[in-house]
Chains A and B, each alone.
Chain A
Amino acid sequence: MSDHENQEQFEGLLSRYEPVIGLEVHCQLKTESKLFCSCKTQFGALANQNTCPVCLGLPGVLPFLNHQVVDYAIRMAIAIGATVREKSVFARKQYFYPDLPKGYQITQYDLPYCENGHLALNSGRVIPIERIHMEEDAGKSIHGDNASYVDLNRAGIPLLEIVSAPALRSPLEAHEYLRKLRAIVRYLDISDGNMEEGSIRCDANVSIRRRGVKELGVRTEIKNLNSFKNVERAITYEIIRQADLLDSGTAVKQVTLLFDAASGRTQVMRSKEDSPDYRYFPDPDLGLVQIDQARLEAVRATLTELPVQKAKRFHEVFGLTDADALQLTDEKELALFFEDVLSRVSPIVPAKIVANWILTEYLREHNNRQWTWPATIVTPESFAQLLRALCEGTLSGKMAKMVFDEMASTGANASEIIKLRGLLQINDADEIRAVVAQVVREHADQVALYLTGKQKVFGFLVGQVLRLSQGRFNPGMVNDCLKEAIHESSAKN
């Protein structure tokens, strides 16, 4: 089936069924050391290089909480307007797996540190976030042909698990929600938010119900979605699969699924009956996590502007449209790039022009060429030179685009390119008049035609002048000089 047919089928399906989606997002915090021990959080070159007795789960070791993790966790809670529990509890979640060294994961269960947050989508819909809790990551298993190999470098790295309400209504909304979460953790500087490298991981709960029906359908859980694209693909696939089942009168079974990115399908990992009995209980090796008002306020005081606040300011102070402001603040680095460029060109270049150029020209190249942040190919300073030249009138719009193309492909500075190529716009009236005089002389017929009232010919004449100048004459001045020359010549006649 083609993508197009798929799309049509999917839209048809959405007219009958409403998807109900919740996301559980695991986000690695970028602390220096692990959650309960002093090992480095960077990935070691060697397996088990960044481990110690505690994260190896040796007999006799005990966990000791990292202060920074709690502060980062508080930042996140404040950012989503959530309630922070004054007393929260670490619990043990018990299951056997080789990369889980203690046979249990230290996490938070029924008393998480954070509850009742929310996140607004661009449509204005507000998605409730039910809870966030702190927990430790597991290690990694590498699978060979006959054996598996356990590397515990990742074991004990701090995670936040962020659980949304089942309030997302489409794969696109799920995608947007996830992007916004990522933007927040990057704004807060608590995670590098890199999905491909696993610092953000996502599980999705998906069910569908007939339009107009209130009760929720049976849900399935899709595990370990490791890219934005796969989140959308897996959820879409799952919605279609459930709709097919319901259409054929078959009930959806409550199962846990794994998404296979290669085939684009979900596969059953385990059924509800096989769901493990985790035997949660409070971890007796740790006390209460206490977060009082003073600590909350101290962390709040360290917070910088969040995406929503930034977008609002861009709209109110700079007069950007809501859409532009939202798009510019979608990623922290993009917003910072905008602010950086603007501060270098203000007030010569209006904010709207900076925004337009960044959202069209700059972003196009950024995406096509897969640039990463911070910008090193086209630096804020170079981009500012370009926009300044444009607004000061030393570059035409067309020339500016040419210069930008060269900046993007060579990484050279705008001012260097302009100088090297002699691209500066010519505003010298005498030089322009000389060429204009030549054109008027060589195209006497056209001039005559113009004088009879054929206005269109004027454009042809301007074109001739610009061609001879290789596009470097200031077009406004060419206009003026040409009119002047024609009038002079007619007066002479």
Chain B
Amino acid sequence: MAAIDPTTLKASELAAAVNRGELRAGSVADHYLNRVETLHPLFNCHIHWDKAEVRNELEKQIDAIEVARYAKKYLPLAGVPISIKDNIMVEGQIAACASRLLAPHRAAYDATVIQKLKAAGALLIGRTNMDEFAMGSSNENSAFGPVHNPWNRRHVAGGSSGGSAAAVAGSLVPLALGSDTGGSIRQPASFCGVYGLKPTYGRVSRYGLVAFGSSLDQIGPLARNVEDLALLYDVLAGPDGRDSTASQRVPLPTQLALPSGNLKGLRVATIREFMGEGLDSEVRKSLESALETMRQLGAETVEVSLPHLAASIPVYYILATAEASSNLARFDGVRYGARSQKPGLNLKEMYLQTRSEGFGREVKQRIMLGTYVLSAGYYDAYYNRAARMREVIKREMEGVFEKEGVHVLVSPTAPTTAFELGQKTQDSLSMYLSDVYTLAANLAGIPAMSQPMGKDSKGLPIGLQLMGPSFAEERLLQVAYQFERHQPPMGVPDLIPSQL
């Protein structure tokens, strides 16, 4: 058999080759485990990672893939390596949420998405680094150190799914799972030059995802091309009897090709409020040229105004932290995690000590902010007002799709490209402000994705954000697919050796 280099294949091609028996899942696993091991010191994408242990755990899955092949059962992700963000439960594996508090925690059950991945034949290769409890936009809030951007190690990978985005960008794995509460899939995808999708709220089960902002969180795929993104999305999407907020609508497999073969008849809108102050000029230029490409493909481009989007940041930081303060109350050292080892503690001191030793600085800050906005006397001024404003934002965005006939909203994913490590760590507000373009989709519950649209003068990727109405993932993927075909490929970062 001619040796195929699995790195050169798309996930879809890889799965096809494994299903046909041209590639063995075991050798694919070995190939990628070697890459992860070799490249780990460069980017710090994975955490608490042990090659031998992972290889051992994969034996059963590799056997299952073989069995399926003999039974002529097609597995959509047969032998496809995937890395899982550290806040998604895989039974028996460490799930630390990049926190010291959960460092010893092994999951006692599989998340719903993990059950689906296993059933689809995927190889769970490793657990990716992230901002602690998914709180952050740079992956610098990790108890396991920051992730480095594969395009420039001095720059951040973005966050909170920084490890997932960097692992995909560096071809450590073809696919990764992230989670997105306010842009945590899209912003690192943008910073690392890969594709990332945050599905409609309720499209993918949250069961087994450690909750940050429960009404905002969604698990989503990261990949190096639209086809792979859709492939993984199709495996993840669907109803779940264990998540009350999951939609009961059964999704159809995504069809990537538009009937017309171009973007004719498509109404694409930019958002006036996102084009002003704070937007980097190179990013703006890149967006303008992306719009030009779309027009050449037949799309009509317009500008809409969404005046209430300016409230996104305050609304988000009230609601997300309120929910987080409650969601993180269970980390008390009683049943799991790292209980403080200080001797002679009484119960209350044990709680205080465990939480104070275990949580990092940003997590404590958000817990306090959320506690404050829910506390007696402040609920109406903060939580209630924010919840109402969220509805206003939601209606405003829905109105654009329903009344103004817009098919897709576009914007840059982030106002800048990846900033330097350490640049914003001393000022949480400036970090929060970098999420300005991504929060709205979480608040409105609508699907949104990021795809590469070029590089800036420093060679750092620039991301294009697409947003659509609820359950219009297929439309976003179709537009992205057309756009991708008319873009120069991102290529492989120089840091990645060509021979591995």
Give complex CA distance A284, B241 in Å: 17
Tell me the nearest residue of chain B to A59, going by C-beta.
B210
| Closest beta carbon of chain A to B261's beta carbon, Å | 41
> In the bound complex, do residue A96 and residue B332 qualify as a contact, i.e. CB atoms below 8 Å apart?
yes
Q: Which residues of A contact B107 (CB under 8 A)?
A: 58-60
Give complex CA distance A64, B107 in Å: 20
> In the bound complex, do residue B207 and residue A58 qualify as a contact, i.e. CB atoms below 8 Å apart?
no
Among the listed B210, B323, B374, B383, which residue makes an inter-chain contact with A60, where contact means beta carbons less than 8 Å apart?
B210
A-contacting 9-mer, from B146-154, B242-250, B436-444: B242-250
For the complex, is B381 an interface residue (Cβ under 8 Å from A)? no
Tell me the nearest residue of chain B to A57, going by C-beta.
B330
Q: Which residues of A contact B102 (CB under 8 A)?
A: 59
> In the bound complex, do residue A65 and residue B207 qualify as a contact, i.e. CB atoms below 8 Å apart?
no
For the complex, is A61 an interface residue (Cβ under 8 Å from B)? yes
Q: Which residues of B contact A148 (CB under 8 A)?
A: 347
> In the bound complex, do residue B245 and residue A285 qualify as a contact, i.e. CB atoms below 8 Å apart?
yes
> In the bound complex, do residue B323 and residue A287 qualify as a contact, i.e. CB atoms below 8 Å apart?
no
Give complex CA distance A98, B346 in Å: 12
> In the bound complex, do residue A285 and residue B244 qualify as a contact, i.e. CB atoms below 8 Å apart?
yes
| Closest beta carbon of chain B to A35's beta carbon, Å | 12
Q: Which residues of A contact B328 (CB under 8 A)?
A: 103
> In the bound complex, do residue B332 and residue A281 qualify as a contact, i.e. CB atoms below 8 Å apart?
no
| Closest beta carbon of chain A to B216's beta carbon, Å | 8
For the complex, is A62 an interface residue (Cβ under 8 Å from B)? yes
> In the bound complex, do residue A63 and residue B322 qualify as a contact, i.e. CB atoms below 8 Å apart?
no
Tell me the nearest residue of chain B to A287, going by C-beta.
B244
> In the bound complex, do residue A60 and residue B244 qualify as a contact, i.e. CB atoms below 8 Å apart?
no
Q: Which residues of A contact B213 (CB under 8 A)?
A: 284
> In the bound complex, do residue A58 and residue B336 qualify as a contact, i.e. CB atoms below 8 Å apart?
yes
Q: A255-296: which residues lie under 8 A (CB-CB) from chain B?
A: 277, 279-281, 284-287
> In the bound complex, do residue A65 and residue B244 qualify as a contact, i.e. CB atoms below 8 Å apart?
yes
Q: A54-78: which residues lie under 8 A (CB-CB) from chain B?
A: 56-65
Q: Which residues of B contact A287 (CB under 8 A)?
A: 244-245
Q: Which residues of B contact A286 (CB under 8 A)?
A: 244-245
Q: Which residues of A contact B331 (CB under 8 A)?
A: 59
Q: Which residues of A contact B211 (CB under 8 A)?
A: 60, 285
For the complex, is B335 an interface residue (Cβ under 8 Å from A)? yes
> In the bound complex, do residue B323 and residue A284 qualify as a contact, i.e. CB atoms below 8 Å apart?
yes
Q: Which residues of A contact B347 (CB under 8 A)?
A: 98, 148
Q: B240-290: which residues lie under 8 A (CB-CB) from chain A?
A: 241-245
| Closest beta carbon of chain A to B214's beta carbon, Å | 4
Give complex CA distance A385, B302 in Å: 92
For the complex, is A180 an interface residue (Cβ under 8 Å from B)? no
Q: B325-364: which residues lie under 8 A (CB-CB) from chain A?
A: 325-326, 328-332, 334-336, 347, 351
Give complex CA distance A56, B332 in Å: 12
For the complex, is B82 an interface residue (Cβ under 8 Å from A)? no
Q: Which residues of A contact B375 (CB under 8 A)?
A: 277, 279
Give complex CA distance A53, B208 in Å: 10
> In the bound complex, do residue A277 and residue B376 qualify as a contact, i.e. CB atoms below 8 Å apart?
yes
Tell me the nearest residue of chain A to B337, going by C-beta.
A59
> In the bound complex, do residue A58 and residue B243 qualify as a contact, i.e. CB atoms below 8 Å apart?
no
> In the bound complex, do residue A53 and residue B332 qualify as a contact, i.e. CB atoms below 8 Å apart?
no
Among the listed A96, A101, A284, which residue makes an inter-chain contact with B351, where contact means beta carbons less than 8 Å apart?
A96
Q: Which residues of A contact B105 (CB under 8 A)?
A: 59
For the complex, is A34 an interface residue (Cβ under 8 Å from B)? no
Given A60-B211, A281-B383: A150 in contact with B329 (beta carbons within 8 A): no
Taking each of B242, B323, B336, which has the highest tally of chain A beta carbons within 10 Å of its own beta carbon? B242
For the complex, is B111 an interface residue (Cβ under 8 Å from A)? yes
> In the bound complex, do residue A279 and residue B109 qualify as a contact, i.e. CB atoms below 8 Å apart?
no
For the complex, is A104 an interface residue (Cβ under 8 Å from B)? yes
Tell me the nearest residue of chain A to B96, going by C-beta.
A59
Given A59-B105, A281-B374, A285-B214: A103 in contact with B111 (beta carbons within 8 A): no
> In the bound complex, do residue B109 and residue A58 qualify as a contact, i.e. CB atoms below 8 Å apart?
yes
For the complex, is A464 an interface residue (Cβ under 8 Å from B)? no
Q: Which residues of A contact B383 (CB under 8 A)?
A: 281
Tell me the nearest residue of chain A to B111, going by C-beta.
A60
Q: B199-256: which residues lie under 8 A (CB-CB) from chain A?
A: 206-211, 213-215, 241-245
> In the bound complex, do residue A104 and residue B329 qualify as a contact, i.e. CB atoms below 8 Å apart?
yes
Q: B64-111: which residues lie under 8 A (CB-CB) from chain A?
A: 87-89, 95, 97, 102, 105, 107-109, 111
Given A98-B347, A281-B374: A103 in contact with B332 (beta carbons within 8 A): yes
Q: Report B's interface with A, CB cutoff 8 A.
A: 87-89, 95, 97, 102, 105, 107-109, 111, 206-211, 213-215, 241-245, 322-323, 325-326, 328-332, 334-336, 347, 351, 371, 374-376, 379, 383
Can you offer 29 A-B residue contacts whose CB atoms are under 8 A? Answer: A53-B109, A56-B335, A58-B109, A58-B336, A59-B95, A60-B88, A60-B95, A62-B207, A62-B243, A62-B244, A64-B241, A65-B244, A94-B326, A94-B374, A96-B332, A96-B351, A98-B332, A98-B334, A98-B347, A102-B329, A103-B326, A104-B329, A150-B334, A279-B325, A279-B371, A279-B374, A281-B322, A285-B211, A285-B244
Q: Which 5 A-B pairs have the closest CB atoms?
A: A103-B329, A284-B215, A284-B214, A279-B374, A59-B210
